[in-house]
Structure 1
Amino acid sequence: MKSEKQAMSQSIAVAIPCYQEALTIRKVVEDFQRELPDARIYVYDNNCTDGTAEAAALPGVIVRREKRQGKGFVVATMFEQLEEDVVIMVDGDDTYDASHVHKLLEPILLGDADMTVASRLTNHGDGSFRPMHLAGNRMVCAIINRVFGSKVTDIFSGYRAFSRDSIRHIPITTKGFDVETEMTLQALYRGQVIREVPAPYSTRPEGSFSKLNTWSDGSLVLLRLFLILKSYKPLTLFGAMGLIMAILGLAVGYLPTHDYFTNPGHYVDHVPSAILAAALMVLSMISLSVGLILNSINLRLLELERLTIRRSK
């Protein structure tokens, strides 16, 4: 917990990743300049061809370009470049309310959270979410909460605030729109405190279009979830895979086992089933062993990371 004086003395950056947002970026910038007159506003132009950079070039605004295409690359560059004590990340499509930034900032400034997230699911306009996006959000949140013991409700929100320490310890490896998922999972794995703040979510203005593709971006999110679990929760992932294979092996092996104990001379009629059952049980043991080994390695790496962080302070 920080004192009020310490909280008020912290520098703040507002970082806005953009791709083809000429229609809305000017309003987004002006709204945040009004709410946070002392903050530095950074607009990251991700190869826009519609005049986004020109529309954002207001007095006091710093426009930077990220040549590598993809929101993940933009966020990684933001995290590398920005040195302010607190960083607010918001999309440039004017779907988030700038007036709620103070509620996002408060837990960070006071030292009560490492990351705050504007949760949109309790207050959103009609048509703001595609049905598949809403269902996917809830499904991914349910998996994450189950695995990490967390209580996140909006994994895909693009309106967040971070402490400087949080940013320093979150590696960004993805290049696309699954970056919000990765940030959340990396923070949870490292024990960072994430607070969600209910915030309204509006539909895009007329003439502004979402760049999300339900199926391709959805599959990327699921792939990212799998890769994060493989890397950071191997015992959970490989243990679950091993359990599934063991259950299948027991089910397939029922008839061969029954043959062995009931037929004269222990003759097994269902030989293919016996071979498949044995293979499944062996794979189950291998999967569990891999999970245990990787989990032990991860624990050692996490210990080293935390010791390094402690010594660097």
Structure 2
Amino acid sequence: MFQGKHVAVVVPAYNEEGTIAGVVEEFLDEPHVDRVIVVDNNCKDATAERAREAGAEVIAESAAGYGCALRAGLDHGVATAADILILTEADGSFRASDVPKFLFYLEDCRMVLGTRTTRQMVEQGANMHKLLRWGNVAMAKLLELFWYLPHEPRLTDVGCTYRALWSSAWKSIREGTREPGPSFSPEMICAAYQRGLRVIEIPVHYGARLGGESKHSQSLLHVSRTALGMFKAICRKRFVG
């Protein structure tokens, strides 16, 4: 609970049985978090069981993809009376200790984005090599350019899952999102700007994965595909709607 507001954390998961329990427990131990919603996105292992055992609320989403899983989790959070929704990863790369920072900044805006591009907060072993970092920065600057008027955004990382928003903000932008994969992240931001919502970005701690491998950035090919998808999504939102 934060100032009388119900806080729910949404975790998309695909075959994360080795890390999910630790992530759920860490976020449930954070005093402001009321519950954790884990989205089982067609897991073929014991992710759902481990999440339930750790105290999470588990829902299933059969439409495959990062964006589909997050959309389902956000919808469920809204439907079950959450006031504030926080998105994070199932791999343990983000820290629950950053939750209060998100919440306090939410007092002044509708959505707070995390950035993993502040080098001093990227831990050794984290999946943020130069190509990935500068690719994220490049997409962020493109989005800045397209939405400079009237918002004048200041962004460095449009692909960071770790972010927080008001339930009312998600209801406002929900119909403006359709991307099934990682392009959902910048699409959310564009949809917020289309609705005239105030969005800010803050640095977050980013550590090494505690298990498994990234589904979107484990190789140059995957990074390139993700970047191209984000580029297309940003252009579509700016010029098509």
Corresponding residue number in structure 1 for 2:65 = 70
Q: Deviations over 1:244-271 (max 9, x none)?
A: xxxxxxxxxxxxxxxxxxxxxxxxxxxx
Corresponding residue number in structure 2 for 1:114 = 110
TM normalised by structure 1 equals: 0.68
Corresponding residue number in structure 2 for 1:154 = 157
Aligned residue among 123, 126, 132 for 1:125: 123
Alignment of 1:169-188 (within 5 A): 169-171=172-174, 172-188=177-193
Structure 2 contact 186–230 (Cα < 8 Å) conserved: yes
Query: How many Å apart are 1:148 and its aligned residue?
Result: 1.2
Per residue, is there more helix in 1 or in 2?
Answer: 1
Alignment of 1:34-73 (within 5 A): 34-36=29-31, 39-58=34-53, 60-73=55-68
1:208 aligns with 2:183: no
Structure 1 contact 100–199 (Cα < 8 Å) conserved: yes
Query: How many Å apart are 1:36 and its aligned residue?
Result: 3.2
Query: How many residue pairs were aligned?
Result: 224
Q: After the TM superposition, which of the residue ranges 55-64 and 146-155 deviates more from structure 2?
A: 55-64
CA distance in 1, matches of 2:32, 2:19: 19
Corresponding residue number in structure 2 for 1:224 = 233
Counterpart code for 1:130? H
Corresponding residue number in structure 1 for 2:137 = 138
Structure 2 contact 116–122 (Cα < 8 Å) conserved: yes
CA distance in 2, matches of 1:130, 1:50: 29
Query: How many Å apart are 1:215 and its aligned residue?
Result: 2.2
CA distance in 1, matches of 2:134, 2:228: 14
Alignment of 1:1-313 (within 5 A): 8-36=3-31, 39-58=34-53, 60-83=55-78, 84-108=82-106, 110=107, 112-122=108-118, 123-127=121-125, 128-149=127-148, 150-171=153-174, 172-205=177-210, 207-212=211-216, 213-232=222-241
Q: Percent identity?
A: 28
Query: How many Å apart are 1:38 and its aligned residue?
Result: 5.3
Structure 1: which 4+ aligned runs deviate by more than 3 Å?
A: none
Q: 1:38 to 1:222 in 2, by over 3 A?
A: closer
Structure 1 contact 20–48 (Cα < 8 Å) conserved: yes
Query: How many Å apart are 1:210 and its aligned residue?
Result: 0.7
Counterpart code for 2:94? Y
Helix, strand or coil: the match of 2:53? coil
Structure 1 contact 43–61 (Cα < 8 Å) conserved: yes
Helix, strand or coil: the match of 2:36? strand
Query: How many Å apart are 1:59 and its aligned residue?
Result: 5.6
CA distance in 2, matches of 1:117, 1:80: 19
Q: 1:22 to 1:59 in 2, by over 3 A?
A: closer
Q: 1:38 to 1:100 in 2, by over 3 A?
A: closer
Helix, strand or coil: the match of 1:113? coil
Structure 1 contact 13–87 (Cα < 8 Å) conserved: yes
TM normalised by structure 2 equals: 0.87
CA distance in 2, matches of 1:85, 1:137: 29
Query: How many Å apart are 1:74 and its aligned residue?
Result: 1.2
CA distance in 1, matches of 2:199, 2:50: 33
Structure 2 contact 139–157 (Cα < 8 Å) conserved: no
CA distance in 2, matches of 1:137, 1:38: 29
Q: Which has the larger Rg?
A: 1
Q: Deviations over 1:177-224 (max 9, x none)?
A: 11111011111222211122211101112x421111212222211111
- Alpha-carbon RMSD across the aligned residues, in angstroms, is 1.7
Unaligned runs of 5+ in 1: 1-5, 233-313
Structure 2 contact 25–55 (Cα < 8 Å) conserved: no
Q: 1:142 to 1:59 in 2, by over 3 A?
A: closer
Query: How many Å apart are 1:37 and its aligned residue?
Result: 6.3
Helix, strand or coil: the match of 1:82? helix
